Amino acid sequence: MNSTLLTQIWHFILHLRLHYQFFILSGGYLLSALFADEMNWNQYVLQFLNVHFLLFGGATAYNSYWDKDEGPIGGLKNPPKMTKWMWVVSLLMQFIGQLWALTLGWEFALIYLVSLILFWLYSTPHARWKGRPLLSLFVIAVSTGTNSFLMGRLASGAEQLSIHDGLIAFGVALVLVSLYPVSQIFQIEEDAKRGDKTFTMKFRLQGVKLFYVSLFMTGALIISWYLYELTDPYLGLAFGILSTISCINIGAILFRLKGKEEEYRKVMMIKFLASIGFLIFIFAGLIYKGIYM
């Protein structure tokens, strides 16, 4: 295997942005464990890899192929160029994941398929929903928000989904999508070159800030309420308090942004702080459940 091919393989791995999938987009799936009565851990962990490596990773690489970014993107400051074989492999990863999803039943496979199709609509030049402010938000909210939580519920061992699951998933989607336009702050020039009209371009920086505060707190309150009612009152109260503190702290950083490309590190710090805090709470909640429930 020559050095050029090895370099290309490494570039493809970078475009999967696995740190982004595992530490930023995993919160919805992992939160589902706090609502599980009994856990099928083997199935849960394996499908976590299916969703976040094959589906999300493959979809991210697929998106990168069509974007052809030269400047910073979410989770990758200096994106390397992609070649045609990477596009093929990114699709193959998602299709393999879809076949694997079928082993969990039609409900899980259908939710997986919806996410796969939405990711395609988001990126492909034949539809390019990424370039439409509201459609792009819809894709992210559903594919990585609601669907992530619902797939987590089914993978954990839930026999069927309830209305409560749907409402919690909606709350997850609000929290996750509240920070989505923040990534577009330093991509305005790149997006404009492609002819995309993103949420940030349409509503500007002030709109992004107000969008974050309103959706983040609404989603956090929904999750807090259901944790209080369905899991444990102390967990619900703790999540509500910590979410409010997190919103204030992240908002303080966000409201100081000027919308310049050199603020890339600050933007990524915002997303990682929010996500890591979310993950720490989930793991602490699982330990609490294991000891006291």
**Confidence bin at 268 (pLDDT 50/70/90):** confident
Give the pLDDT confidence score for residue 186 in this predicted structure. 67
Residues 6+ apart with CB under 8 A from 96: 54
Q: Range with the lowest mean pLDDT among 128-137, 162-171, 266-275?
A: 266-275
Each residue's pLDDT tens digit, 23-45:
888 999 999 999 998 899 999 99
Q: Is residue 211 part of a domain?
A: yes
Whichever domain contains 189, its CATH number is 1.20.120
Answer yes or no: pTM beyond 0.75.
yes
Q: Range with the lowest mean pLDDT among 11-25, 72-86, 176-190, 270-284?
A: 176-190
Distance CA 182, CA 74 (A): 9
Give the pLDDT confidence score for residue 24 in this predicted structure. 84
Q: Is the pLDDT confidence value at 232 over 70?
A: yes
Mean pLDDT of 42-58: 97
Q: How many domains does the chain have?
A: 1
Quote the domain boundaries for residue 211. 162-293
Q: Is residue 55 part of a domain?
A: no
Give the pLDDT confidence score for residue 75 in this predicted structure. 65
Give the pLDDT confidence score for residue 256 in this predicted structure. 80
The DSSP code sequence of 110-159 is HHHHHHHHHHHHHH-TTT-GGGSHHHHHHHHIIIIIIHHHHHHHHHHT-S
Give the pLDDT confidence score for residue 257 in this predicted structure. 75
Mean pLDDT of 130-154: 93
Q: Is residue 252 part of a domain?
A: yes
Distance CA 271, CA 284 (A): 20
Give the pLDDT confidence score for residue 74 in this predicted structure. 63
Q: Is residue 100 part of a domain?
A: no
Q: Is residue 256 part of a domain?
A: yes
**Confidence bin at 69 (pLDDT 50/70/90):** confident
Q: Is residue 262 part of a domain?
A: yes
